[in-house]
Amino acid sequence: MSIPKNLRYTQDHEWLRKDGQVAVVGITDHAQHQLGDIVFVELPAIGTKVKQGQSFGTVESVKAVSDLFAPVSGEVTEINEALKDGPEKVNSDPYGEAWMVKLTPANAGEVEKLLTPDQYEKHVASSH
Q: What is the pLDDT of residues 107-124, one digit of tens each?
A: 989 999 999 999 999 999
Rg of the chain over Cα atoms, rounded to whole angstroms, equals: 13
pLDDT per position as a tens digit, 7-36: 999 999 999 999 999 999 999 999 999 999
Domains of the chain listed by start with CATH number: 8-107 (2.40.50.100)
Residue 127 has what pLDDT?
Answer: 79
* Whole-angstrom distance, CA of residue 17 vs CA of residue 34: 22
Query: DSSP string covering 82-118, please?
Result: HHHH-TTHHHH-TTTTT--EEEEES-HHHHHHSBPHH
The answer, yes or no, to whether residue 95 has pLDDT greater than 90, is yes
Q: At residue 88, what is the residue type? A: E
Q: At residue 18, what is the residue type? A: K
Residue 44 has what pLDDT?
Answer: 98
